[in-house]
A and B are shown apart, each in its own frame.
Chain A
Amino acid sequence: MLLYLFRRILVMVPTFLGITFISFMVMHLAPGEPMGLQSDFNPKMTPEVRERLRAQYGLDKPLYVQYFRWLKGLVELDLGRSFSPDRRPVWDKIKERLPVTLLINLLSIGLILVVAIPLGVASAVRQNSLFDQVATVTVFVFYAAPAFWVALLLMLLFGVYLGWLPISGLHSLMGYAHMGTWERLLDNARHLFLPVLVSALGGLAGMSRYTRSSMLEVLRQDYIITARAKGLSERRVIYRHALRNALLPLITILGLSIPGLIGGSVIFESLFAIPGVGQLMWTSVMARDYPVLMGNLVIVSVLTLLGNLLADIGYALADPRIRTGTRGE
């Protein structure tokens, strides 16, 4: 098992390097340069000034030199400085946006799990019943409806017509500084309610469908019949014996959703005016801010690789068949 782990981690290194190399090259293939925003159509921009800026960003060097320079920084854990006019260190820019993105994504995954798993189980137990059909249609409606549209409708309802919830932002503009801890918490919760709800609604379909199908599979197994034959209560059969086994595939899905935790979503963040990672990436792509893009890419790819690994490990821990399988090799 340890050897297996070690090998897995070793393989991750070249994979990671490959990811960074390809992304670096592809990024530079896109037309335009970081100075574009400053220089395109700016009458005050002379060719000399443009060249000066290029040299400052190091863009006058061949591409491979730029890549190795970046890689050297990475080895020293330095992601470089942003190309945008503020020239802040990349890590600072990403760091200040991580907490809110993480918070929203964790809350929304939590909400998805809390709602989708019972929903999936209930649908599986009452397969093809009216409840099953209504649940299916509902989650797919939320899945299919464009998130921005649902979000705007909810904002209109709760924010404008009813006036119960704030429309955008993370906390109240005025008076937040003078609030007590609980008031602040309540204020934040009111602001986060809609973004978390909207991002969870779209995710319900996938998770509840996975639970349903994996549950259906398990319910057909012999050991379920055995459990029933033993005279266990239906509740015990479903939640103790069936659900535990049905949840195994979900481990993989959860592992793969780890990079999504920091990915953030441009659409939600723009709609709800949330200063998250998604917006940072979007503006960086638009401004061709290569260091920030690469910085985020490093984090996401490390997390993806890590998520894969964790899913495998988690699976092995949860399922004795896999553990014994590796031992038997």
Chain B
Amino acid sequence: MRALRSLALIIILILQVISCSYSWGSPHEHPDFGDSIVVGSIGDASTLIPMLASDATSHEIADLIYDGLVKYDKDLNLVGDLAESWDVSPDGLTITFHLRKGVRWEDGVPFTSKDVLFGFHLIVDPKTPTAYAGDFMEVSKAEAPDPYTFRVTYKQPFAPALSSWGNIVVLPRHLLRGKDITKSPLGRRPVGLGPFKLKKWNTQESIELVCNKDYFGGRPYLNGYIMRIIPDPATMFLELKSGGLDWMGLSPMQYQRQTNTRFFRENFHKYKYLSFSYTYLGYNLRNPLFKDKRVRQAISYAIDKEEIIRGVLLGYGVAATGPYKPDAWFYNPNVRRYPYDPQRARELLREAGWVDRNHDGWLDKDGRTFTFTVITNQGNALRDRTAQIIQYRLKQVGIQMKIRTLEWTAFINDFIDKRRFEAVILGWTLGQDPDIYDIWHSSKTGEKQLNFIGYKNPEVDRLLVQGRRTFDREKRKRIYWRIQEILAEDQPYTFLYVPMSLPVIHKRFRGIHPAPAGISYNFIRWWVPKNEQKYIMP
């Protein structure tokens, strides 16, 4: 019953997220061209060659300058971009992309399959300092039989491979061939084929893009995109209030308490959608304390997720039930849930042998008190507060939890990598593909690998491999649904919450429709009516 209710809640939340997008902007209006958008960013981009960049800002800009062979649409379906279509051979080993004809680089040179082949050779080249070579190492053969066909053959069927052919490997061969990519001027002055072109980049100040009038997908309605780099969030908010910014992401506090003034109602629209991430409490499963599934389940029952969402996110989030966000097509809503139920938690702990025998208020077993330390990284106030709320709730069932916050690099190198932790509060950013092999497969428990909690389940292992080998969406969905069921039963993490992204955008921009993919998927179709345009850019 409780499970049903929270499911209903989630559906309502999703409906709210979706419905708020259709409340303005009638579809019959004719979009106008012109105007620019000014976006605030905390950090500067590092390089605009996508395969070399590892920070979000660089990719945000590069995504507007380069297109990939494939992309995700608003419902997270993989669709063609530079590739018009693709075929997967019946054995799942070979993918053939049929490229769009007549696409040109900014400098007028035609885009062909040679460019993709070049990008592929570059990314697997040991001399290229890229963090994205992993997926491409699985390729046994890549060829460009004609200018508009690109074919790759894998050693084994590899479903996530399809999505890896994004803009990471699309680079202008005629400008980079035979050059050292790390010293290429393209990192600062990219030549792309996407909807925007770089106009000016003032380091640590601003990045200015202008629309690409020859973009194969039709020129964007907006003339320009300007990213201002403002490292301090408080300053950024003041800039927004003084009219210097059109678009920034808000914190829950700003969203709820500081943006209800008349000024904001008259000038801005607030949006919200589920972000691609979740926060969890992970247990080191090598620790005898957490070996017993009942103990982990008990902790999950003892924690009130809704309370955390109210207290930490001011309600702007939903409870996580597994490693995916609830509006993804591979999300399974029917898994076992852990509503707040301290009585149930105590029962499970008693079954596992944890009882307060010496009446000191803490549970004990074989003379050992139930106490552990949770670590989290410094500087993330949300995680810090989450930890405190959990601490309070666990105390009520007789479990003593201590909190320790650590500087990020020390946290990773000395604690996570060396497995010197009992429990951890962290978050994962989600990809658009359901593949989570690297986080949950038992082969990934080695040093520096991501299954650092040491989760081992033969069925999950088998399903994870199967999920990577299967291209059919329905079959994949069934596989990942089963994985979610097992994880919900095993509770190797207590999945806590999926926070919302809370962007605020100036009212003059039309055509913004939040979807599971967020809001920027149709950025090139945003527009401003002529009489409301603010910035005139040549």
Residues of chain A whose beta carbon lies under 8 Å from any beta carbon of chain B: 30-32, 36-47, 49-50, 52-53, 56, 84-88, 93, 96-97, 148, 152, 155-156, 159-160, 163, 166-170, 173-174, 269-273, 275, 279-280, 283, 288
Contact = CB atoms under 8 A, between A and B. Distances in A.
Interface string B249-273: 0000000000000000000000000
Given A86-B46, A87-B182, A273 B137 contact: no
A39 B450 CA distance: 11
B232 A31 contact: no
B530 interface: no
Given A31-B410, A85-B58, A44 B134 contact: yes
The residue in B58, B205, B206, B413 that gathers the most chain A C-beta atoms within 10 A of its C-beta is B205
Contact of B38 (A96, A173, A271): A173
B54 A42 contact: yes
Contacts of A272: 235
Contacts of A270: 231-232, 235
B438 A43 contact: yes
Given A45-B134, A168-B235, A87 B204 contact: no
A168 to B, nearest CB: 5
Contacts of B244: 166-169, 173
Nearest to A43: B438
The residue in A42, A50, A173 that gathers the most chain B C-beta atoms within 10 A of its C-beta is A173
Given A43-B450, A86-B187, 13 more contacts: A36-B413, A38-B54, A39-B131, A44-B134, A46-B133, A46-B137, A49-B130, A96-B203, A97-B203, A173-B38, A275-B203, A279-B204, A279-B231
Contacts of B133: 44, 46, 49
Interface string B202-214: 1111100000000
A156 to B, nearest CB: 6
B205 A275 contact: yes
B230 interface: yes
Contacts of A88: 188
Given A32-B409, A53-B129, A167-B242, A273 B54 contact: no
Contact of B131 (A42, A96, A148, A174): A42
A271 B235 contact: yes
Contact of A163 (B126, B188, B205, B242): B242
A85 B229 CA distance: 18
Contact of A167 (B52, B131, B203, B239): B239
A52 B124 CA distance: 11
A168 B230 contact: yes
Contacts of B130: 49
Interface string B155-198: 00000000000000000000000000011000110000000000
Nearest to A155: B238
10 contacts: A39-B131, A44-B133, A152-B235, A167-B235, A167-B239, A168-B238, A271-B234, A271-B235, A273-B232, A283-B43
Interface of B: 38, 43, 46-47, 49, 52-55, 58, 126-127, 129-135, 137, 182-183, 187-188, 202-206, 226, 228-232, 234-235, 238-239, 241-242, 244, 408-410, 412-414, 438-439, 448, 450, 535, 537
Nearest to A52: B126
Nearest to A50: B448
Contacts of B126: 52
Contact of A30 (B182, B228, B409): B409
B140 to A, nearest CB: 17
A163 B175 CA distance: 47
Contacts of A31: 409-410, 413-414
A167 B238 contact: yes
B242 A44 contact: no
A273 B205 contact: yes
A32 B53 CA distance: 19
B188 A86 contact: yes
Contact of A86 (B47, B134, B204): B47
B46 A43 contact: no
Contact of A49 (B58, B131, B412): B131
A160 B131 contact: no
A41 B130 CA distance: 15
B131 A159 contact: no
Contacts of A41: 412, 450
Nearest to B407: A31
A132 B137 CA distance: 74
B182 A273 contact: no
A147 B241 CA distance: 21
A272 B241 CA distance: 15
B410 to A, nearest CB: 5
B34 to A, nearest CB: 14
B131 A271 contact: no
Contacts of B439: 43
A18 B47 CA distance: 34
B129 A37 contact: no
A42 B439 CA distance: 10
Nearest to A158: B242
A160 B242 CA distance: 5
B46 A85 contact: yes
Contacts of A40: 412
A173 B202 CA distance: 11
Contacts of B535: 174
8 tightest CB-CB pairs across the interface, nearest first? A32-B409, A275-B204, A43-B438, A270-B231, A38-B54, A44-B134, A86-B47, A273-B230
A84 B46 contact: yes
Contacts of B203: 93, 96-97, 275
A32 B406 CA distance: 13
A273 B238 contact: no
Contact of B204 (A42, A52, A97, A163): A97
A50 B447 CA distance: 12
A87 B187 contact: yes
A286 to B, nearest CB: 9
B156 to A, nearest CB: 16
B237 to A, nearest CB: 10
Contacts of A280: 204
Contacts of A44: 131-135
A37 B242 contact: no
A229 B25 CA distance: 86
Contact of A37 (B55, B205, B238): B55
The residue in B47, B126, B137, B204 that gathers the most chain A C-beta atoms within 10 A of its C-beta is B204
Nearest to B36: A174
Contact of B129 (A36, A42, A56): A56
B183 A160 contact: no
Contacts of A283: 43
Contacts of B127: 56
A5 B78 CA distance: 72
Contacts of B53: 85
A288 B438 CA distance: 26
A133 B414 CA distance: 53
Contacts of A47: 448
B235 A155 contact: yes
B46 A32 contact: no
Contacts of A279: 204, 231
Contact of A273 (B134, B228, B241): B228
B131 A45 contact: yes
A92 to B, nearest CB: 10
B235 A173 contact: no
Contacts of B134: 43-46, 49
Given A168-B235, A272-B235, A85 B38 contact: no
Given A31-B414, A275-B202, A173 B228 contact: yes
